[in-house]
Amino acid sequence: MAEQDKKYSTIHYHSYLKLDKVLSAQHLRSAEVGEPAHEEMLFIITHQAYELWFKQIIHELKSILQMFREDNVDERNIGTAVARMQRIEEVLELLIQQIKVMETMTPLDFLDFRGYLFPASGFQSFQFRMIEAMLGLPEDNRLTYNHHHYASVFPEEQQKELAEIYETGTLFEAIEDWLERTPFIQYGDFNFLERYELAVKEMIAGEQAAIRKTDYLNEEEKAQRLRMLGSTNTYFESVLNKDAHAEKRAKGELRLSYQATVAALFINLYRDEPILHLPFQLLMNLVDLDEKLTTWRYRHAQMVLRMLGRKIGTGGSSGHDYLSATAAKHHVFKDLHNVSTLLIPRSALPELPDHLKRQLSYFYSTH
């Protein structure tokens, strides 16, 4: 009875949110040295808010990873994963918008207290490095931090924790494994890749004929358009030629396995089939997440350029140049963006056999 009473006991808003701790966690370094800078409060609160939202993102990613680490992913969990991915996207959108609040501080305002921050730096955000690792940003694809490993700024215990994330498996790896189990690529007498290759050849032949036939272009322009159009040996080679795909992976141009790439393409092309609605949405969520992270990195870099110009960062990095380089390079799900290159119009899609269409609908659930 005592336990039941405790479960439903009343609690005050202030104590539930631990506001005494939260609201007393802003200590201005400028005030401690006797030269209080008004804008430092905004700087502290903004970054503390970042860290709280990073904690929420980690909370969501852990739950999604748990769902996809199973050998057989419960399809009912896909909807939950999609909802939580969308929540992460909204949080990232909020973090992007938060930069506007920071930019109400002028460069001179920032210089009033910047000297007191050395050598603290956003590069020392352990939670953000956790997010990158959990998503699956490759270790060997990271830009170095002052020519040192990115984790070198953290205590040994935190370095170990980051390493363990890669050892236990990232979201990229979990999604790759899940895609590789897509069962419809080879189904009875239906061979998706054979039908897809024929459709691609017909599409390219039609576009080539239209270019050659038009009176709008001169011969030089036609030749240029035909080169740009390419063939099955250019854009489509990575999915139609398994060896070509392996070669691109070896060079680091692609990350997803061949089987996972084909599955992602199949899901994108046949997204209108009922069973593929949520898998397609999940893949789009991953693309959106990558895009929003890139946008946040870019906006962060632009804010630093606005505030500091080309000055060295407080942590010793090249400041704006480093940040803008991470925006360009630190993509996780670039392969899912590349699938768009391989898409063909709905009108050119190979028709699915009736027995496969029934499997991709909810027909089976009535039996």
Domain at 302, CATH number: 1.20.58.480
How confident is the prediction for the chain on average, in pLDDT? Answer: 88
Which domain, by its residues, includes 212? 38-366
Mean pLDDT, residues 207-225 taken together: 90
Q: Is 190 helix (H, G, I), strand (E, B) or coil?
A: strand
| pLDDT at site 186 | 66
Task: With respect to residue 28, please indicate whether it lies within any of the assigned structural domains.
Answer: no
- 241: tokens are 């030629």
Task: With respect to residue 223, please indicate whether it lies within any of the assigned structural domains.
Answer: yes
Using pLDDT thresholds of 50, 70 and 90, give the confidence band for residue 2.
Answer: low
Q: Do the beta carbons of residue 322 and residue 313 sit within 8 Å?
A: yes
pLDDT for 330 beyond 80: yes
Determine the Cα–Cα distance for residues 307 and 310; give it in Å rounded to an integer. 9
Per-residue pLDDT tens over the stretch 129-168: 999 999 999 887 777 666 778 888 899 999 999 999 999 9
- Measured in degrees and rounded to the nearest 5, phi and psi for residue 185 equal -65, -45
Task: With respect to residue 12, please indicate whether it lies within any of the assigned structural domains.
Answer: no
Determine the Cα–Cα distance for residues 45 and 108; give it in Å rounded to an integer. 19
Mean pLDDT, residues 270-275 taken together: 91
Per-residue pLDDT tens over the stretch 176-186: 999 998 877 76
What's the angle, vertex CA 221, arms to CA 215 and CA 227, rounded to 5?
120
Number of domains the chain contains: 1
Q: Which residue has the higher pLDDT, 320 or 30?
A: 30
Per-residue pLDDT tens over the stretch 88-136: 999 999 999 999 999 999 999 999 999 999 888 888 999 999 999 999 9
Q: CA separation (Å) from 344 to 211, 245, 349?
A: 18, 19, 7
Q: CA separation (Å) from 24 to 53, 127, 263?
A: 19, 21, 51
Using pLDDT thresholds of 50, 70 and 90, give the confidence band for residue 191.
Answer: confident
Please, which residues have CB within 8 angstroms of residue 321's CB and are 6 or more apart in sequence? 310
Task: With respect to residue 18, please indicate whether it lies within any of the assigned structural domains.
Answer: no
Task: With respect to residue 125, please indicate whether it lies within any of the assigned structural domains.
Answer: yes
Task: With respect to residue 222, please indicate whether it lies within any of the assigned structural domains.
Answer: yes
Task: With respect to residue 103, please indicate whether it lies within any of the assigned structural domains.
Answer: yes
Instruction: State the distance between the two ends of the chain, measured CA to CA, in whole angstroms.
Output: 47
Q: Is 324 helix (H, G, I), strand (E, B) or coil?
A: helix
CB atoms within 10 A of CB 201: 14
Task: With respect to residue 13, please indicate whether it lies within any of the assigned structural domains.
Answer: no
How far does Cα 84 stand from its chain's mean position?
14
